[in-house]
Amino acid sequence: MNRMAPLLAALLVVASVATPAAAAVTADRTETQDAYAGAHVSYDVQGDAVVDYTVDNETMVESMRVESQSNYESRAGVSGEVDLDSVVELDGLGLDMGASTTTQATVQTEGAASIVTHDNEDGTLVVRGGENGQFVEAQVGSDAEAEAASDDRVVVETDNGTTGTFIVVGDGNVTVNEAGNVTAELGSDASLVFRESGEERTDGEKRVERMIANGTATAEVYVEEQGEQTVEDTVTYGQDTTVEAAQEGEHTVNMTVERTQSQGKVVVIHVAESVVDAGESAEVLVDGQAAARAQSVSELRAATQNGDESMYYVAQDASAQAEASTTVMVGFDHFSERTASIQGEETTDGDDSGSGMPGFGVTAALAALVGAALVAVRARS
């Protein structure tokens, strides 16, 4: 036993030193990981490309590269206006995984462009051109087909019928190049957006796509349950827009929208019924006052164009893949900082809004909520 004691002591010393070292290696790998896997979205970053971009287990993009227009023109020996159909095999910028939160992840680039992915039901991906013009090429899967729907939208459909749309916001256009891949040209401060539409691209999905492309919709907000946690994700399409959103209580979602420009815009909010059972009876307050309900998207859009008041529209057909959710569009008549509150359906017998406060109806209870401090999760795109 006496001979074994020194050996056991030595082994304990080695074990005590080896354990922290192993933990350090694991931590380093976590910090320098080149893959992302969320509740909806997963992908890898390999050198100069984002690869295997998957939404709800369906690979929508096999690889995507970004290259500055000036670098491409110099390398290809061309100048002036470039035929976008002929832009192929981009020499992509160097990429690395960047910071991530519960619902968002960034891909760092060596150039002015930025890439942000959103772990929401639409698997939203946003490429911003930055100060310099950029080309983007996205190679779709071998079992997928890409087709231009307009100068600012290309629709991708996989072999099993899952669809997604590439949308250009701002100064630029997108098409299908001669190799059958999606190619976009982004001017200064323009963006390329990808959104998955599930197995059916509804009229509501098409409507939202058009609103994003023409600048009517400046942001989308997603409120859903992931596991036992309620998460909020905000996607902004205008660089002058900031959105904060959070669930407030059991039946209310609050948000604050700031814009540096005064022109009115629409914010599209997707709320899971498991979080707030909104449905057709949803009510909306803007800046603490009950907003008028628009009967059509045209009426909603008019409210943002020098309208007399803000309005909202409940769109039940906005997404075929999110059957247990409600899409509410809020049209703000002007900015700079506005607040909105979405109230869901009553869920208790005979209670007006669950407030338990005598004399308080839905509107008064909501006004009290909006008057209270907003519990917000800041998400800048």
Q: Is residue 90 scored above 90 in pLDDT? A: yes
Longest CA–CA span in the chain (Å) reads 92
Using alpha carbons, select from 145, 208, 157, 150 the residue that is nearest to residue 181: 145
DSSP secondary structure, 138-166, as one string: EEPPTT-EEEEEETTEEEEE-TTS-EEEE
Q: In the prediction, which pLDDT does 321 show?
A: 53
Q: In the prediction, which pLDDT does 9 show?
A: 41
Q: In the prediction, which pLDDT does 241 show?
A: 92
Quick one: pLDDT band at residue 266, thresholds 50, 70, 90? very high
pLDDT (tens digit, 9 = 90+) per residue, 122-158?
A: 999 999 998 889 999 999 988 899 999 999 999 999 9
Identify the weakest region by mean pLDDT among 68-82, 85-99, 312-326: 312-326
Q: In the prediction, which pLDDT does 370 show?
A: 36
pTM over 0.75: yes
CB 225 within 8 A of CB 277: no
Residue ranges of domains in the chain, CATH in brackets: 37-201 (2.70.98.30), 216-381 (2.60.40)
Q: Give the residue carrying structure tokens 């008549």.
A: 333
Q: Is residue 22 scored above 60 in pLDDT? A: no
Q: In the prediction, which pLDDT does 5 show?
A: 47
Q: Is residue 65 scored above 70 in pLDDT? A: yes
pLDDT (tens digit, 9 = 90+) per residue, 208-217?
A: 999 999 999 9
> Which position has the higher pLDDT, 32 or 110?
110
What three-state secondary structure class fits 129? coil
Which residues have C-beta within 8 Å of that of residue 136, sequence separation ≥ 6? 64, 65, 66, 90, 127, 182, 183, 184, 186, 192
Q: In the prediction, which pLDDT does 132 show?
A: 83
Identify the weakest region by mean pLDDT among 27-36, 77-86, 96-105, 355-364: 355-364
Quick one: pLDDT band at residue 20, thresholds 50, 70, 90? very low
User: What value does the mean pLDDT of the chain take?
Assistant: 82
> Which position has the higher pLDDT, 10 or 121?
121
Quick one: pLDDT band at residue 181, thresholds 50, 70, 90? very high
Alpha-helix residue ranges (DSSP H) falling in 246-346: 297-303
pLDDT (tens digit, 9 = 90+) per residue, 277-319?
A: 766 778 999 999 999 999 999 999 999 998 899 999 998 766 6
Mean pLDDT value of segment 218-247: 91
Mean pLDDT value of segment 348-362: 35
Q: In the prediction, which pLDDT does 350 show?
A: 39
Q: In the prediction, which pLDDT does 143 show?
A: 86
Identify the weakest region by mean pLDDT among 25-39, 60-74, 214-228, 346-360: 346-360
Quick one: pLDDT band at residue 51, thresholds 50, 70, 90? very high
Q: What is the DSSP letter of 296?
A: S
Q: Is residue 84 scored above 70 in pLDDT? A: yes
> Which position has the higher pLDDT, 200 or 270?
270
Using alpha carbons, select from 196, 171, 69, 66 the residue that is nearest to residue 127: 66
Partners of 156 in the β-ladder: 146, 164
